[in-house]
Structure 1
Amino acid sequence: MESIAALEARGLTLIDGLQMTLLVGLVSMALAMVFGLIAAWAKLSQVRAIVFIADTYTTVIRGVPELVLILLIYYGVPTLLQNSVRQWGPAFADFRLNLDPFAAGTITLGFIYGAFAAEVFRGAVLAVPRGQIEAAVASGMNRVLLFRRILFPQLMRYALPGLGNVWMVLIKATALMSVIQLEELMRKAEIAAGATRMPFTFFLAAALLFLGITAVSILIQSRLERWANRGVRQV
């Protein structure tokens, strides 16, 4: 009975890890959309310097593995800052900087997948009929009103499928947060597997939970796409 109770307790820890995984995923996705919108605006800018910075951001981030960037941000940045501050003198010899795993993980994932979201948003903006934008300008709309009433609603309709794909990849990438000791689903499964010596059971359970997240996400995405396309004639 004790072993069964222990397994049940470990199973509950997986649910806690699932909640953390969803929280990390949602916060990271929100940040990715913010970074993506800013980068998409920059890539469509008429200023060459801004376009160059945005292109560099999307090229570099999409070309470097997520795990490398996570380790670089969580371990590399604090070490670099500590060594730099300690050079200021003996008074700073004991200076130490530790990043919160949740904050470091969500910001890093948001920054990474913002590069992918940027291309989604850029394509969505280019898909909006230019005649509508020209008509809005001719009718006297300012940029804020044009963006709110004309550009943004249609941009999101075109971007939803791509953003859904970004979300699918991002939620799986949350498993990488286990390397910085964040208590998400993969980390909980790893702890449970080590404590019970039943790695197949707990890693399979984690895989099924991730699969469940994906299945629910697909259903939600389908409903959002139908809602966004209401009233649009399908050719």
Structure 2
Amino acid sequence: MRAITDSATMTRRQLKHLWRYPTLILTYTGVPVVFLLLFVYVFGGTMGAGIGGDRATYVGYLTPGIIVTAIAGAAQGTAISVAIDMTEGIIARFKTMAIARVSVLTGHVLGALVQNFIAITTVTLVAVLIGFRSAASALDWLGVIGLLAMFTFAITWLSVALAMVTKNVATASNLPMPLMVLPFLGSGFVPPESMPAPLRWFAEHQPFTPVIETLRELLAGRPAGTTFLAAAAWSAVIALGSYLWARKLYNR
């Protein structure tokens, strides 16, 4: 019970930071929105024809990839927030207080979940404004929300762990940046079938692709099938491994 109440307190702390310094959420929301508009209005005609449709078809194909890109981009903000706490002395003060040790990191993770869902909602609304339409049922939308929560939770714990292996904020801000590339090297922007064989193999076997494909199926109102199981498995492995790694670094 104490861990839960302390985690709630630390989450409120993160939400207050988010409210007082909105530039971070604007930055990590703005980048995926720019990607969405760029790819739809600059490349959308050609890309849509490449997948057997038009620009409107490509909006439907692209939106899940952009949503996952927003999650990857927000990981950088989480890493920066954790690194600031680790380097400015507040963690030493927390360790002298009668609070559950895990609550400090849990507060960062839960605060990041709120930040991510703000970014995801914004990206989705912009996609709707430029032509995205979903055939998902209420049950499909619950699946979408659950999948996004699982994957965001996993990537957030990974960004926390990455922040804790660094010595300064600048390095912490750079370590999660390769995550932004993975949607491009998956099925986020183009079908893997169009890629050279080695890159196609990587695209089909990396963690972002089953998440994107599951979102694509659910938003289209189709059953996700085995891609959902793969996405859930990747999320569980990343979350557990990153949590254990982060906890070990924090205790040390």
TM-score (norm 1): 0.34
Higher helix share: 1
Structure with max Cα Rg: 1
TM-score (norm 2): 0.33
